[in-house]
Amino acid sequence: MAGKRTLQRTLISSYVYLTRRLGGLLSHHRRSSNHPSFQKTFSLISQEKHAGRGRSQAVVCRVEGGLLRSPSTFPYFMLVALEAGGFLRGLLLLLLYPCLCCVGEEVGLKVMAMVCFRGVKVAGFRVGSTVLPKHLLEDVGLEGFQLLTAAGGKKVCVTGMPRVMVEAALKEYLGVEVVVGRELKVSGGYYTGFMENSKEEERMLQELGGEEGDHGDGESVLWVGGGKEAHHHHPFFSERKEEYTVSEEDRKAWRPLPRDKYLKPLVFHDGRIAFLPTPAATLAMFLWLPVGLLLAVLRLLVLSLLPYKISVPILAFTGTTNRVVRSAFTPVTSDRGGESQGRPRRRWLFACNHRTLLDPVYVSGALGIPLTVVTYSLSPVSEVIAPIKTVRLTREREEDRRRMEEELRRGDVVVCPEGTTCREPYLLRFSPLFSEVAEEGVTPVALRARMAMFYGTTAGGRKWMDPIFFAIDPFPSYTVEFLREVPVLEADGTRRSRYEVANQVQAELAAALGFECTTLTRKDKYMQLAGNEGFVDRKS
């Protein structure tokens, strides 16, 4: 047994040593340029000087080395492998990483593309538009983005990655007009894993430089990259470009691109992986998975079978963090004084923002009493393991209102008016139905959920696995805060508009959480991420 543990430690140490020593080789090679008359050393001061140049200058920017702070493409291929292919495909890519470090950039890209894309259905591939944008945008440097946009001309991005991986993020959120990348070959509706050069490159270069031999009418071009790139062989670059070289030291000093610089807000994204899967982080994930699966079974059993007074301490011992922000607004739902005096007890209606499917469970645990949750969609697996009563709504207004009123007469009810989860700091439009059934008022509940490794929600994946992924996370945390009750009656006893009440509850939650209110709906989310309206199949 001791010899087995020693061998395991030796293998892990050797793996970590190789990845640390050779990790930089997967990034693009910084070669000396053959065009010294056009090269300049990049600095932050040169950005301000360049901002005053003519508006007719186009910018051709290399994504790896000229726009992203990290030149390595491995994490993005790993996201494709995990999200589109599964854990086994991701494990294969991780095992190949030491070998990829020992080969050239071009060979490494081809191997990663083959591992990640071969056999993936073209029609079902949505990772490039639903998963990768979040991770790519978080890696964009503010200084690189300023260079891309300062000249005022056409914005072109060149990448060695397949175009389907980066095009959505660059065009939709950064305003890039042309993305030049590799094309993946397709056979029978499936990716073969083989890449070929894009025909878009020649067309793009002709548009920027004009017809061959006509060098007076074309648009002047600024090239931004990490040195001599693969595209410099084209005669267009040797005759018509100015060049900025971004050094590794410059990139390390770059700041992340603020969210307010995005062309549109990043409200929705999908996928299970909550971190950027660098080689070291991915290795840690796979080492954690066996322990995490056992821990998930324990956590779900404890949460489903034991009362809160016992389950909460046990869950805290397993690594979960539960925090209740108590204030004068925290309701005392256990007060039975009204019933003892012959009067009906006050029934509470709680409305919370929606982060994961466990939101109502944590609200119930914070109060220490069982609540009833009304929901629009819930998988059968989640319904079975839920420790509180769940009532499914039908999306027919009158029938749903009747069910909510019936449950509210029986006891306290919690509802998520957004109708679906949102991971980012935004609140979707609140359905006003809950405000119609409240007796005296609605108590907003602000929830903050944090997952370090896996997201416990999905739009295009298997929803029955949502609680499992949440429970596998090493250190999931929840913070519950009860806010001031929003009345549904005016001072004279008349009932307020249901839309007014719903909008006030949304505004109160947004102010407490620091979120932004939107008018987006559940349908908007699922149409963007999954191409459907988000109805859960009872068999899924």
Q: How far apart are the first and last CA of the chain?
A: 42
Rounded Cα distance, 357 and 268, in Å: 17
Cβ neighbours of residue 15 closer than 8 Å, sequence gap 6 or more: 98, 283
Reported confidence tier of residue 425, pLDDT bands at 50, 70, 90? very high
pLDDT of residue 240: 52
420 and 500 in one domain?
yes
135 and 66 in one domain?
yes
What is the per-residue pLDDT across 256-293, written as a single tens digit (0 to 9) for each? 999 999 999 999 999 999 999 999 999 999 999 999 99
Three-state DSSP state, 143 = helix
249 and 322 in one domain?
no
Residues facing residue 241 across a β-bridge: 221
170 and 303 in one domain?
no
What is the per-residue pLDDT across 482-525, written as a single tens digit (0 to 9) for each? 999 999 988 887 899 999 999 999 999 999 999 999 999 999 99
Rounded Cα distance, 145 and 56, in Å: 18
In degrees and rounded to multiples of 5, residue 351 shows phi and psi of -120, 120
Count of C-beta atoms within a 10 Å radius of residue 52:
7
315 and 237 in one domain?
no
If one counts the domains in the chain, the total is 2
Tokens found for residue 472: 């596998």
Rounded Cα distance, 514 and 261, in Å: 19
Domain assignment of residue 366, yes or no: yes
Angle at 327 between CA 326 and CA 333, to 5 degrees: 75
Domain final position from 261, 296, 311: 261
pLDDT of residue 511: 96
Count of C-beta atoms within a 10 Å radius of residue 411:
15
Is the model's pLDDT at 328 over the cut of 90? Answer: no
Cβ neighbours of residue 345 closer than 8 Å, sequence gap 6 or more: 335, 336, 338, 339
404 and 329 in one domain?
yes
pLDDT of residue 23: 43
Rounded Cα distance, 75 and 111, in Å: 14
Cβ neighbours of residue 400 closer than 8 Å, sequence gap 6 or more: 374, 393, 394, 433
Tokens found for residue 104: 């050239």
Q: Calculate what percentage of the chain has a pLDDT beyond 70.
A: 79
Domain assignment of residue 200, yes or no: yes
Rounded Cα distance, 179 and 64, in Å: 13
Reported confidence tier of residue 393, pLDDT bands at 50, 70, 90? confident
Residue 294 Cα to chain centre, angstroms: 26
186 and 137 in one domain?
yes
Domain assignment of residue 105, yes or no: no
User: What distances in angstroms separate CA 38 from CA 33, 148, 237, one per listed residue?
Assistant: 9, 18, 10
In degrees and rounded to multiples of 5, residue 125 shows phi and psi of -85, 110
Domain assignment of residue 109, yes or no: no
326 and 387 in one domain?
yes
In degrees and rounded to multiples of 5, residue 513 shows phi and psi of -90, -15
What region does 493 belong to: left with phi over 0, alpha with psi -120 to 50, or beta?
Answer: left
Domain assignment of residue 537, yes or no: no
312 and 394 in one domain?
yes
Cβ proximity of 424 and 331 under 8 Å: no
What is the per-residue pLDDT across 155-164, written as a single tens digit (0 to 9) for each? 889 899 999 9
Nearest alpha carbon to residue 236 among 264, 275, 207, 260: 207
Reported confidence tier of residue 207, pLDDT bands at 50, 70, 90? low
Residue 314, Cβ density class (10 Å: 0-12 exposed, 13-18 middle, ≥19 buried): middle
User: Residue 141: which H helix or E strand, with range?
Assistant: none
Amino acid at 401: R
Nearest alpha carbon to residue 474 among 299, 324, 355, 303: 299
Domain assignment of residue 111, yes or no: no
426 and 514 in one domain?
yes
Mean pLDDT of 71-77: 95
What is the per-residue pLDDT across 209-248, written as a single tens digit (0 to 9) for each? 554 444 444 557 777 877 655 455 455 555 556 777 888 8
Domain assignment of residue 87, yes or no: no
Tokens found for residue 301: 């059993």
Domain final position from 261, 277, 303: 261
301 and 443 in one domain?
yes
376 and 234 in one domain?
no
Q: Within 13 Å and on the Cβ side, how many CA atoms surround 483? A: 24
Is the model's pLDDT at 336 over the cut of 60? Answer: no
Domain assignment of residue 11, yes or no: no
pLDDT of residue 237: 54
Mean pLDDT of 447-471: 92
In degrees and rounded to multiples of 5, residue 388 shows phi and psi of -125, 165
Three-state DSSP state, 257 = coil
What pTM was computed for the model? 0.84
Cβ proximity of 60 and 224 under 8 Å: yes
240: domain range? 38-71+131-261
